Every structure is written in structure tokens, then in C-alpha cells.
Structure 1
């Protein structure tokens, strides 16, 4: 192997170890030393050498999966736009859900990316890194624009609230299914495709739900 090959192989080994350890224990509970040891690296500064920081490592893990998810999502967006009927809310919600589910299906069992993502978005540093990578995706930006055009006129705070609900529902539902599959447990849906359809249906309902303002003073002290 050339030096370049050895460096690339070491990076991949570190990414494998970090993704699994972060998925199982959370970002804050895993040290760079633990990752290096799990990856079989005698040098405990290997993570810092290859990725600079834990945030850099998180971004590298996200990027390792982002290319394939972007490819799937881009193809979905093109199909939706080329369809004879006008796309609706559910079409664009599906474009946020299905690419991740398809990628997880392709990873096989066990996989750790959904659980890694759930741990990352629960960590302040990880959340910032994941959000930055998401906003670098042309397909997800386009989906967001098209979804907003289809939605009813929602107050800004309701729109932001439902966006957060959508993110949490996607990430944590996928993570729980990935965990159950890895441990050989029963799952409500028998395939990633059907699981994605269920999440898409639920999120379509979230986005189209009525907006109710409670009556002033309706809660008793």
C-alpha cells in the first residue's frame, strides 16, 4: 500500500469506530482516545491528526453518508417535478424521509448511522455540524422551498415548531428501528420502505394539522 492508501484506510477505520461508538454511547461519552483504541491505532492522537476535532470527525461521518443520500434525494426531486400532476405536501415530505430510509436499507444489518444521527442532533456541537452539512445539500434545500410553497399560510412560530417536530420524528423513528433490527427485535413495519411511508404519512398530518390558539386563562392554576 502507498502512504496515501494507508492514510485513507486509517481514516475509514477511525470513522467506522467513531460512528459505532457515538451511536451506542453518545458524542459526549466517547473520547478520541477510545476511538483510536477501538480502531486499533496505537497513536491516541490519531483522531486529532486526521480530523482536527470531534466536530470535524462528526462532519466527516455525515459526509461519508451524505453523497449517497443526496443522490437518492436528487433523483426523487427530479421524478416529482417531472410528474404530470402537481406535487403536494406528501410528495415533498416523502423526499425528506425516503432517501434516508433507502440508504439505511442499503447499509444492511447492523448499521449505526441512524443512531449516530440521533445522538448527534442531541448534542450541541453535533447538532451544529449536522445542520451545516444538511444546508450544503442542494436537494434538501430545494425540497424545503417546494414544501413551503405547498403548505397553508402558517405563523412563523408554528412553521418553526413543526420543522423541529419533523426533524425529531424522522431522526428518532429511524434510529429506533435501526436499533430494533440490530438487536433482532420486532418492528411495527416489516421493511424500511413501509417504515418510510408511515413516517411520511405522519409528517404530512403534522404539517397540515390545524393551528389552535388556546383561550386566554383556560388553564386553571
Structure 2
């Protein structure tokens, strides 16, 4: 494994286990077997750039899976159908990573840091397939004012991130009572209910 790849894998695991704020560049360098503590700055620049470098391969695979899903089945007509387009490429990505994956927990940990949450949210939401999917979901909830749609978009992101993190943790620990497919179905049902809920 090349130095850059080793640093990325090590950082992703340490961030997932301990949180972003608790893990220094020095700790990542040492765990990756690098004596030079400036190796992260050399390869990636800032902490935000390191986070982007971790996220981008995952987002690229999810993007590819989502477009493949749309190409195979066509664009759905219903809100649950578009919720499936949003969710399934993500859960399929985690299923393909296997029980030793760390990315879902990394994303959940990063979501608690205001600056880094913005970085990862920008990376994920900027992909064309995500933009398309969220636009189609909003088109199917025209009664909701824009501010409520934005709130429910945030709720959607948090629900998917944290439920996937819990599933990943359980699979890693051997305590999972659901498959990734079952997790996808549960998320689709929950998101459909979230977006269809009427305003009080």
C-alpha cells in the first residue's frame, strides 16, 4: 500500500473510532508508520483536504451506483421510489465494503464538527445524482414551503448517516440483526414518512 493510501485508511479508521477532534495529525502519521509528522500536510494540505480525500472515493462509487440504478430501472414516479434511489446506492456501497468498513462511522463523527460537516456535506450533495434525487423528492412534496424542505433535507442526511453508522458498527461487532438490504428498506420507509408528514 502506498503512503498516501495508508494515511487515508489509517485516518478514516482513527476518525471513525475516536472522533475527528481527538485524533491529531501526529497520531495518524505514527499509526500509518510515518516518522515525519508533516507527511499529512505534504500529501493533503489542510485537515479539510484530508477529509475530502477520504470522502471522494466513497462518493464516487455511490454516484456510479446511483446512475447505474437509474439506467437499469428508469426514473421512478413516486416519492418512495426516489427515496430508494437516494438510499440504495449508499447501503449497497457499505455492503460491498464488508464488515471491516469504517466510512459510515467516519461520516457520523465528522458530522459533529461544524466546519468539517460543511466540507463533507458539500462533497456529498454536490454530486449530480444526489442533486437530481433531492430535486425529484422536493418536486413530490410541493405543499411544503422551501424552508421546511431544507429542514427535511437536513433530517434526511442525518438519518441516513447515523443509521448507516449504527449498522456498520453492529456488523463490525457481530451484533447486527439486519442486513444492509433490510436497513435500506427501513430507511426508505422512514424517509417516505418524513417527507410525507404534514405540517402542524
Is the Cα contact below 8 Å between 2:104 and 2:164 reproduced in 1? yes
Cα root mean square deviation, aligned: 1.4
Q: Which moved more, 1:91-100 or 1:144-153?
A: 144-153
Larger Rg: 1
TM-score by length of 2: 0.95
1:159-208 deviations in whole A, cap 9, x for unaligned?
12211211111000000011111111143x2x101110111111100100
- Tell me, which stretches of 5 or more residues in structure 2 are unaligned? none
> How far did 1:81 drift?
3.1
The residue aligned with 2:180 is 192
TM-score by length of 1: 0.86
Map 1:107-122 → 2, pairs under 5 A:
107-122=97-112
The residue aligned with 2:71 is 78
Question: Structure 2 CA distance, aligned partners of 1:63 and 1:108?
Answer: 19
The residue aligned with 1:153 is 143
Change (3 A) 1:150 1:80: farther
> How far did 1:79 drift?
3.7
Moved over 6 A (4+): none
Aligned with 1:195: secondary structure?
helix
> How far did 1:135 drift?
3.2
Aligned residues: 200
The residue aligned with 1:41 is 34
Q: Which moved more, 1:36-45 or 1:132-141?
A: 132-141
> How far did 1:51 drift?
0.4
